[in-house]
Amino acid sequence: MNPEEVIHLLGGRRRRSHRKFGNLHSVSDLRRAARRRLPRAVFDYLEGGAEQERTLRDNQARYGRYRFQPRALTGSSAPSLEQTLLGRELPLPLGLAPTGYTRLIHPDGEIGAARAASEAGVPYTAATMATTSLAEIAANSTGPLWFQLYVNSEWPVTERLVREAERAGCQALMVSVDTQVAGQRLRDLRNGLTIPPSLSWTALWGIAIHPGYWTGLLGGPGLAFANFPDATSPAAGGIAEITKSFEAALSWQHLERIRELWAGPLLLKGPLGPSDVARALAAGCEGVYLSNHGGRQLDRSPHPLELLVAARREVGEAAVLLVDSGIRTGADAVIALALGADLAMVGRAYLYGLAAAGERGVRLAISMLAEEMERTMQLLGVGGIAELRRLGPELLRLDGAAVHAGGGW
């Protein structure tokens, strides 16, 4: 065997760039790669949840309880994943959830994630606590761009953020209503994580064992909350310190004022029960974004799938319902859609990709989820999103039993 043949057998020189990512086939592979690349405290910031992490654990476990009941001989071939949402054609029923402090995870940060989302045509949600300004993110985004708002305790700051979202061309505003106070994230406390990270002895040890991560971090612009460039900037410190600038007494009056300011689609993000969902719509929201913040805020808050069924029952087909928390596979996203969601949002699933390989890793995460969704729908014998939503419960079993229409809980 000559050297060329040996190289060919080993995967070939030409395929070297592919080989680097050749063993990443699922979001759980991306998670493993992220874990290897990130210092412990940073991985824990990405991964961790609040208090006893009951909600965090439940988020994925809940998806694991469902099984699919495929339909046979339907004659459906490649299913279509397209739909129109908030007045826009979307190629995939998927979106990237807002995540604060994204450049801590990889220097490509918000811009890398927004570019990858644009390329796939899926919405990217810029966060109030982003490490890249909204204007810069917008300059790098061609796809649907949304903005997540934390209402600030100083109203003029909130107003400025809404105006900036408008100027940046954001097509929807999500108001997070679950962060009046920071969730107690014990991993961050135990790791002594501060924002920005301080160069403690532990961090110096981290530099020694994760040189790739630290070279990227120290080589880029300093980490800061880019939407707070002036004196209103939250001081550096633990997460709890930083969230002190958020409105602690958030109320429906704040929502009314935001509704007056913002003409585009408005959604509330949080673990909203049916009466709050109804009230949000009555207050002029186009929909709600059902989320327990990936288990990072109120521990023991309900699972969004459970809320989803009640919300859909409450609002009928009139409102837009987004769902996140625990979605790691395309099959999870299909379950959420079958139970009534319009869009499956992912947080950690794309952050693992970002941590592992920057913008390319986010592209990988999106394409893995898209392929899994398409394959799952094809194996279910479903031709498209509308059919998946219509058949919904018929396609699902929960803990070994049929899921009846409008529920399963």
Ligand X SMILES: Cc1cc2nc3c(=O)[nH]c(=O)nc-3n(C[C@H](O)[C@H](O)[C@H](O)COP(=O)(O)O)c2cc1C
Which residues carry out catalysis?
293
Burial (CB < 10 A; 0-12, 13-18, 19+), residue 401, is: exposed
d(CA 245, CA 247): 7
Opening angle at CA 45, ends 20 and 186, nearest 5 = 145
Q: How far is the CB of 289 from ligand X (least distance, A)?
A: 8
Q: How far is the CB of 274 from ligand X (least distance, A)?
A: 20
d(CA 252, CA 273): 15
What's the distance, CA 198 to chain centroid? 27
Closer to ligand X at the Cβ: 144 or 294? 294
Asked whether the beta carbons of 397 and 69 are under 8 A apart, the reply is yes
- Secondary structure letter of residue 244 according to DSSP: G
Q: How far is the CB of 168 from ligand X (least distance, A)?
A: 17
- The binding site for ligand X (CB under 6 A) comprises 46, 59, 97-100, 127, 129, 148, 176, 269, 291, 293-294, 296, 324-327, 346-349, 351
Closer to ligand X at the Cβ: 247 or 387? 247
Closer to ligand X at the Cβ: 99 or 191? 99
Nearest residue to the partner ligand X, using Cβ = 347
d(CA 141, CA 117): 8
d(CA 59, CA 327): 8
Closer to ligand X at the Cβ: 178 or 314? 178
Tokens of 249: 């007494």
Closer to ligand X at the Cβ: 210 or 296? 296
Opening angle at CA 208, ends 106 and 238, nearest 5 = 55
Q: How far is the CB of 12 from ligand X (least distance, A)?
A: 36
Q: How far is the CB of 226 from ligand X (least distance, A)?
A: 13
Tokens of 113: 């994630």
272: nearest Cα among 243, 239, 326, 312:
312
